[in-house]
Chain A
Amino acid sequence: MNNPISNQKGSVLIIALMTITIVTMICATSLYIASQNSNTGMQTAGWQQSLTGAESGIDAAVRALNAYVSPAPSASPASAWSNAGWVVASQSGTSLPSAEPSASPATSATAPPNSSHYNYLPSSKLTVNLPNAGGEGATQVKSWVTIDTAGMTTGQDANGKQWYRVRSTAQTIYPSGSAILKRVSNNRLDNDLRNSLMLQFNRDGGSSLGPTRTIEVVLKPLVSASSGGGGLLLQKSLQMSGGGTIDHFSSTTTPTSTFLTSPSTYRSTFYNEMLVGMLNANGSDLKSTYVYGEVAYSTTGSAPQNTSNIQGTPKLTTPFSSAFGTVSDPGGTPDATYGAGSPPFTTIAAGTKAHPKLVKINGNFTVPGGQSVSITGANAGTDNNYIIFWVTGDYTTSGSGFITQAAGVHVTWYVDGNMTTSGQSYNNSDGLASEVSFNLTGNNTNSPKFTISGSGSFIGTINAPGYDGTISGSGNLVGSVVASTLNISGGASFHYDDALSTNSGGVNIAQVGNFAFASWFEDNSAANHKDVKGNYVVY
Chain B
Amino acid sequence: MKLPGRKTLFGFTLIELMTSLGCGSFILAAVVAAGVSLQKSYAAFEGYSTAEADQLRVLDYIAMDCRRATAASIGTVTVSNGAENITEKQLVLTLPAYYSAVDNTAVPNTPVLGASGVTYGGGSTVTIKYYINYYNASASASGNIAYFVREVVTATTDNTTPIAKNVASFSVTDLNPASTGTVTCWIMFFPTFARMPGTGAWWSGQFSPDHAPDNTIGVNGDWYAVNYTATDQTTVGDVYCKSGGVYSKINNVKATTVYCNTFLREADARQTDTN
Q: Is the CB of B271 within 8 A of A315?
A: yes
Could you tell me the distance between the alpha carbons of A316 and B60 in the complex, rounded to whole angstroms?
Answer: 26
B227 to chain A, nearest CB (A): 23
Q: Is the CB of A186 within 8 A of B268?
A: no
Q: CB of A82 within 8 A of chain B?
A: no
B84 to chain A, nearest CB (A): 26
Q: Is the CB of B113 within 8 A of A520?
A: no
Interface residue SS majority, chain A: mixed
B18 to chain A, nearest CB (A): 16
Q: Which of A140-172 contact B (CB under 8 A)?
A: 150-153, 156-157, 163, 165
Could you tell me the distance between the alpha carbons of A527 and B273 in the complex, rounded to whole angstroms?
Answer: 34
Most-contacted residue by chain B among A26, A288, A299, A520 (CB, 10 A): A520
B151 to chain A, nearest CB (A): 11
| A274-298 interface code vs B (CB 8 A; 1 in, 0 out) | 0000000000000010000010010
Q: Is the CB of A527 within 8 A of B106?
A: yes
Chain A, interface size: which category? 35 or more
Known: A194-B60, A294-B117. A520 touches B106 (CB 8 A): no
> Can you list 17 residue pairs at the A/B interface with Cβ under 8 Å?
A19-B31, A29-B45, A33-B48, A40-B56, A163-B113, A186-B49, A190-B57, A220-B118, A303-B267, A307-B273, A308-B274, A315-B268, A315-B271, A517-B266, A523-B108, A527-B106, A533-B161
Interface residue SS majority, chain B: mixed
Which residues of chain B come closer than 8 Å to A186, judged between CB atoms? 49, 53
Q: CB of A518 within 8 A of chain B?
A: yes
Q: Which of A288-334 contact B (CB under 8 A)?
A: 288, 294, 297, 299, 301-308, 310-318
| A170-213 interface code vs B (CB 8 A; 1 in, 0 out) | 00000000000000001101101110000000000000000000
Q: Is the CB of A272 within 8 A of B114?
A: yes
Q: CB of A522 within 8 A of chain B?
A: yes
A187 to chain B, nearest CB (A): 6
Q: Which of B50-75 contact A (CB under 8 A)?
A: 50, 52-53, 56-57, 60-61, 64, 67-68, 70
A519 to chain B, nearest CB (A): 5
Q: CB of A270 within 8 A of chain B?
A: yes
Which residues of chain B come closer than 8 Å to A302, judged between CB atoms? 177-181
Q: Which of A5-64 contact B (CB under 8 A)?
A: 11, 15, 18-19, 22, 25-26, 29-30, 33, 36-37, 40, 44, 47
Q: Is the CB of B38 within 8 A of A316?
A: no
Which residues of chain B come closer than 8 Å to A527, judged between CB atoms? 99, 101, 103-107
Q: CB of B242 within 8 A of chain A?
A: no
A289 to chain B, nearest CB (A): 12
Could you tell me the distance between the alpha carbons of A305 and B174 in the complex, rounded to whole angstroms?
Answer: 14
Q: List the A residue with the shortest CB-CB distance to B8.
A: A2
Most-contacted residue by chain A among B70, B181, B268 (CB, 10 A): B268
| B99-133 interface code vs A (CB 8 A; 1 in, 0 out) | 10111111110111111111110000010100000
Q: CB of A338 within 8 A of chain B?
A: no
A24 to chain B, nearest CB (A): 11
Q: Is the CB of A306 within 8 A of B273?
A: yes
Q: Is the CB of B60 within 8 A of A303?
A: no
Which residues of chain B come closer than 8 Å to A26, judged between CB atoms? 38, 41
Which among B48, B56, B267 is the interface contact of A317 at CB below 8 angstroms? B267
Could you tell me the distance between the alpha carbons of A19 and B31 in the complex, rounded to whole angstroms?
Answer: 8
A467 to chain B, nearest CB (A): 26
Q: CB of A531 within 8 A of chain B?
A: yes
